[in-house]
Amino acid sequence: MSWYPTAMPSQAGKRYLVTGANAGIGFFTAARLAGAGAHVVLAGRSPERLEAAMAAIRGARPEASVEPLVIDTASLDSVRAGASRLLHRPPFDGVVANAGMVHTPDQRLESPDGNELVLATNVLGHFALLAQLLPNLAPGGRIVMLGSLSSRLSTFRIDDLQLERGYDPWRAYAQSKIATQVFAFELDRRLRAEDAPLSSLVAHPGYSVGGRTPRVPGVNEPSTGKRFRDALQGAWAQGKHRGAEVPLHALTAPGVEGGQFWGPRWSTKGAPALQTPTRTSTDAAIGARFWAFAEQATGTTFTVGA
């Protein structure tokens, strides 16, 4: 199939979980892994869209080993039910925490659990998911969180993560992505402190847009108008299949270490390159405060180590 990206090193025998795998960065991440021989669990909230994504992967690679897992990261009940279905399975070699809300609502909404919806979808659901799954990761396993360039373009209200003092769509998205990075780096600090044989790191896909992405029936079918508009941004934008190169590198490349921050070489596009995260994202005091907040907001005790 013409949309299927270039082959990557063999992942035969590996098992990965990719959230938000029915479209965008998550789909191309899962497709590349499955095409390289890994068994991939595609997680998403829509059974129909997951089936379409798996059909597209199998259409390009009939031998691909993929399976669906219905999880809505905005709902803690859904996350816990989904995680429980994985706990007695063989361990995962890596998790790509990709699921997220990019097109945020115009007004503040709450998740079924009473948390601000964007924060719940993009961060808190993954916090609860990984709290359950951490013991089911194989030694050497990597957790890759999807960060964003928006982390450089907004302040971080650690004392108002629920945006109760003021909401706007941009802040909701940017703050959720800063929180994602804070969580990833704090998790890696805790793993290191316990000498756990796991690592946590951040990958951001730059500016990756659907109109510069190959057409995949049932997965990515941009209109002619969107292709034209996105083509006008070609100097600084890339397709989502290219954006997926960064989390794939962070997940599988030799020499990658926990606590690193990977992104496209030219910031918005290009081959994966090691970059410097914001000081807020890596501040240990902020990380500890966020961890305590997340445990309270999700009703979860996230224990790292024995």
Q: Mean pLDDT across the stretch 60-77? A: 96
DSSP the chain: -TTSPPP-S--TT-EEEEETTTSHHHHHHHHHHHHTT-EEEEEES-HHHHHHHHHHHHHH-TT-EEEEEE--TT-HHHHHHHHHTTTTSPPEEEEEE----SS--SS--B-TTSSBHHHIIIIIHHHHHHHHHGGGEEEEEEEEEE--GGGGSS---TT-TT--S---HHHHHHHHHHHHHHHHHHHHHHHHHTT-S-EEEEE---SEEGGGS--BTTTB---HHHHHHHHTTTTT-EEHHHHTHHHHHHHH-TT--TT-EEEETTSSSSSEEEE---HHHH-HHHHHHHHHHHHHHHT-------
- pLDDT value of position 215: 85
pLDDT at position 6 is 61
Based on the residue annotation, tell me whether 167 is a catalytic residue of this protein: no
Kindly state the percentage of the chain with pLDDT values over 70. Answer: 97
Of 12, 14, 30, residue with least CA distance to 22: 30
The residue ranges of every structural domain in the chain are 15-297
Q: What is the pLDDT of residue 263?
A: 96
| Short-list 299, 304, 245, 217, CA closest to 96 | 245
Q: Which of 4, 16, 167, 173 is catalytic?
A: 173
**Res. 4: pLDDT tops 90:** no
- Amino acid occupying residue 199: S
Average of per-residue pLDDT values in the chain: 94
Task: Give the separation between CA 137 and CA 287, rounded to whole angstroms.
Answer: 22
CA 279 from centre of chain? 21
Percent of the chain's residues with pLDDT above 90: 83
- The yes-or-no verdict on residue 1 having pLDDT over 50 is no
Q: Which residue has the higher pLDDT, 79 or 149?
A: 79
CA separation for the pair 132, 236 (Å, rounded): 39
Residue 161 to residue 215: CA distance in whole angstroms = 37
> Mean pLDDT across the stretch 12-29?
97
CATH class of 15-297: alpha beta
State the pLDDT at residue 190.
98
**C-alpha–C-alpha distance, residues 73 and 119, integer Å:** 10
pLDDT per position as a tens digit, 212-249: 888 888 888 889 998 989 888 888 889 999 999 999 99
